[in-house]
Structure 1
C-alpha cells in the first residue's frame, strides 16, 4: 500500500522573504498525482494542473497559509510571511534590464556593508539551485557575479552571508528567443518612482520606430525606443510589449527595413518598504522614518563621492543626527533587525570652503591694493617735497644773481 503525502515548500529556500521577491511554491508529492489545486488563505487559486505556483514581486498581501491538493488529499499549510523591509545587501545588473537573449550573460554587482568575502551567491534555474563564483574587488568595495540562464526560461540570483540568515535581494532574469525585446527593469518598480521600458533589437541595428502596447492595446509610438512612466501607480500594472521597425545600416547602407514583435513582459508596481527621510539644519543631518515599525531603532549612514558611485560606504556614526564635513552624497536607512527601511533620498553636500577661500583671496587682494595705494601716495608726497626744496634753491640763486647784477650797475 503506497503512502500518499503532500507538502508545500518554498523556492528559493530563503530564510526570510522580502517585499519584491519572486518566489515559487512547490507541491511536493510522494505517490500523488495531478491535477494540482492551490488554496491560499482558504481561496482556491486560478492555477490548475501545475505542481508549481510562481509569485512575482510579492508583498504582504501574499501573506497567508498556502496549501495544495491533488486527487482529494490536501497538504499541511505552509505559512508565507513577506517582510516589508529591504534585505542586507543589493546585487544589481551592471548594464541592461530583466530580459536577455538566449546564450547571453550579464554581470551582477553586489554591494554590502561588511566584508564581501563572507558572502556566497547562488542561482535558481527551474527547481535546481547552483552556487556561483564571486569576484571580490576590495578596492572598489564590491563583488561581481556572472549571471547566465543556461537554457532556462528564467532564473533568480541572490547572495547570502555565510553562517548567518542575512541575504541580499533577489534579481530575476528572463530569456527571449526573439530579435526584438521589451526590457523592463531587473528590480521591482516602486510606487511613485519613474520607470523606463525599452524596446531593444538584438545586434544593435538602427531603430527607426517602436510601437508600445499595454495588454495588447497600442499606447504610444517612440522613435527613440523608450516608454517612460514618470510616476508609477497601480494603473500602470499590466503586460507590455513592443513592435520595432529597424535596419542593420551599420552593416550595409542599403540594408532592408525589418520589423518584429517582442514577448509580453509583466510590469508590477509595489509599495515597497517604508523610506527613511533626511532633514537638514546647516551642516547637521537628521534621519527619521515615520512609517517604520517600532523595532526599527538604529541608524545607518552612508557617503558616496560625487565622481564615483561605487564609493558608497557606510559611516561609523550610528546616531540619529550627524554633522557633515566631507563633500559628497549622504543617505541613511533604519536597521530593523531582520531587514532595513528603504534608503532616504540622497543629500548633496558641497563644502563652503571654496566660497570662503574666494572671500579670503578677495580680502587679501584688497589689503594689497590698499598697501600699494598708500605706498604710491607716500612716494608721490615725498617727490613733491623734493621738488619744492629744489625749486626754492633755484629761486635763491636767481635772486642772488639779480642782486649781483644790480650791484654791478651801481
Structure 2
C-alpha cells in the first residue's frame, strides 16, 4: 500500500472517529422568541454526520416518534417540558420548551380561504398590529429552511399583506416579527393538496367551546351535489352544501377528517356527468386557548375585564373598527378598564399581560342615536309637559271659581261648557 492510500485511510478514520462522539442538538423551527398556545413548531435533531433512526425523549420518557423532525401541532402548556433526542446511541443536551398561554402581539390571517390550498395556488395573508407596520418583517418556514417575504404596507388602512405560497413544500408556516424587538405575530400554517377535492379546516386553531366549520371544496367550483364527511375513516354526516359544523367543540372532536364529494361541472356543460372524489385527511386539534377578555356595557360606557387572566395582566388595549370597514382596526389611547365611547362602530378589548395578551373580547356594536331625533324628542316631551300644565291650570281656575257648592255662580255652566269644548278641541 502506497503512502497516498495510507493518508486517505487516516483521514477517513479521523472523520469517522470525530463524528461518532459528537452530540446531536435539538433546535426549534421557526426560531420564535416566545412560543404561544396554538403555534405549530418543529423540533429538529441534528448533528454533523448524524444518521437515522432518531429516538426522542419527553421529560425523560421515550417517545414512539423516530424521525429526526418532530412536528408539534397547535401546542399548549401540556407540551411544556424537556425534549432530548438520540442518534447513534449519543443523546443530546436537554431542550426546554415553554408555551405561553397567551396570544402574541400582532395578528396574521388569510384574506380568504382556509388552511388547505391546491398545488401552485397562493393567497394573501393580512397583518395587523398596534404600531407602525414599516418596522415589521415576515418569513416562511418550508421544511427546515426559513425565507424572507416581501411585506406590502398600507399606511392608510393600518395593515399590511404578504403573498403566501407553498412552492413545492407540503406545508409551510408563515409569521411576522418586529425588527429589533421580541414582538411577533401568530403563525399561520398552510397545507398543500394535489387532489380535486379538499377538506378545508380553519386556519386558526380550533378553540374549545366555539363552533368549527369544516368545508368540502372541489377545485374549479363545480356544482356540488353532496359531500360525505368522515372522522378517522368513519362516516359522520352527509351534507348538500359541503359544510360540516361542530357547534360546541371539545377535545372529543379531535381526529383526522376527510370528505367524499359528488359534483358536476354544470357551468361548462348542462349534460356534464357526475363525478366523485376523496380528499386528503386533515388533522383537527381542539385546544383550550388563552383566557378571553369580556366587555360589559351600559349604553356608551364600556368595561373590559378578564376573569381568568393571570395576576400580571394589569392594563387593557381598546380597539375601534368602523361599521363600513370590518378590516380596519384602530387602537384607542385609553388603557384603563373603563372607557366612554361616542363614535359609532365595533369595539373590542384585550388584556396586556407583559409577554403576551389575552384573547380579544366579544365585539360591542355602538350606534349613536341621530342628533335630529334626539332634538325632536326633547321638543315633543317639552310640548307635552307644557300642554298638561296648561290644562291643569285651567281646571284649577275653573274649580276655584265655581266651587263645589250646589248653587252655581253665574256663568259657571257656560264656562264649564266652554272648557269641555276646549278640551275636546285640543284632543
- Answer yes or no: same fold by TM over 0.5: yes
Is 2:283 the partner of 1:283? no
Q: 2:352 matched to which residue of 1?
A: 335
User: Which piece of structure 1 moves more, 27-36 or 76-85?
Assistant: 27-36
Is 2:183 the partner of 1:166? yes
Q: Greater share of strand residues, 1 or 2?
A: 1
2:227 to 202, 210, 227: 210
Shift of 1:348: 1.5
Q: 2:23 matched to which residue of 1?
A: 5
User: Which piece of structure 1 moves more, 270-279 or 241-250?
Assistant: 270-279
Is 2:147 the partner of 1:130? yes
Query: How is 1:173-188 mapped onto 2 (pairs within 5 angstroms)?
Result: 173-188=190-205
Q: TM-score, normalised by structure 1?
A: 0.87
Residue pair 2:350, 2:361 contacting (<8 A) in 1 also: yes
Residue pair 1:98, 1:183 contacting (<8 A) in 2 also: yes
Is 2:47 the partner of 1:29? yes
Q: Write the deviation string for residues 236-287 of structure 1: whole angstroms up to 9, x where unpaired.
A: 1111000000000101111111000000000010111111111223432111
Q: Write the deviation string for residues 149-177 of structure 1: whole angstroms up to 9, x where unpaired.
A: 00100000000000101000000000000
Shift of 1:363: 5.7
Q: Distance in 1 between matches of 2:333 and 2:217?
A: 43
Q: Distance in 1 between matches of 2:270 and 2:117?
A: 28
Is 2:161 the partner of 1:144? yes
Is 2:183 the partner of 1:153? no
1:259 to 276, 279, 287: 276
Q: Write the deviation string for residues 91-117 of structure 1: whole angstroms up to 9, x where unpaired.
A: 101000000000000100111100011
Q: Write the deviation string for residues 41-80 of structure 1: whole angstroms up to 9, x where unpaired.
A: 11211211x1100000000000000000112111000000
Residue pair 1:2, 1:31 contacting (<8 A) in 2 also: no
* Secondary structure of 2:377's aligned partner: helix
Q: 1:61 matched to which residue of 2?
A: 78
Shift of 1:33: 2.3
Residue pair 1:240, 1:266 contacting (<8 A) in 2 also: yes
Residue pair 2:159, 2:328 contacting (<8 A) in 1 also: no
* Secondary structure of 2:241's aligned partner: coil
Q: 2:37 matched to which residue of 1?
A: 19
Q: Distance in 2 between matches of 1:364 and 1:252?
A: 69
Cα RMSD (Å) of the superposition? 1.8
Q: Distance in 1 between matches of 2:213 and 2:156?
A: 32
Shift of 1:352: 3.0
* Secondary structure of 2:148's aligned partner: strand
Residue pair 1:304, 1:329 contacting (<8 A) in 2 also: yes
Q: Distance in 1 between matches of 2:379 and 2:76?
A: 58
Shift of 1:88: 0.6
Q: Write the deviation string for residues 353-404 of structure 1: whole angstroms up to 9, x where unpaired.
A: 455245146469989x9xxxxxxxxxxxxxxxxxxxxxxxxxxxxxxxxxxx
Q: Distance in 1 between matches of 2:333 and 2:32?
A: 30
Q: Distance in 2 between matches of 1:113 and 1:238?
A: 36
Q: 2:336 matched to which residue of 1?
A: 319
Query: How is 1:67-86 mapped onto 2 (pairs within 5 angstroms)?
Result: 67-86=84-103
* Secondary structure of 1:310's aligned partner: coil
Q: Write the deviation string for residues 110-137 of structure 1: whole angstroms up to 9, x where unpaired.
A: 1110001111000000111100001111
Q: Distance in 1 between matches of 2:76 and 2:96?
A: 14
Larger Rg: 1
Q: 1:43 matched to which residue of 2?
A: 61
User: Which piece of structure 1 moves more, 97-106 or 312-321?
Assistant: 312-321
Q: Distance in 1 between matches of 2:376 and 2:237?
A: 52
Q: TM-score, normalised by structure 2?
A: 0.84
Q: Write the deviation string for residues 194-213 of structure 1: whole angstroms up to 9, x where unpaired.
A: 11100000011000000000
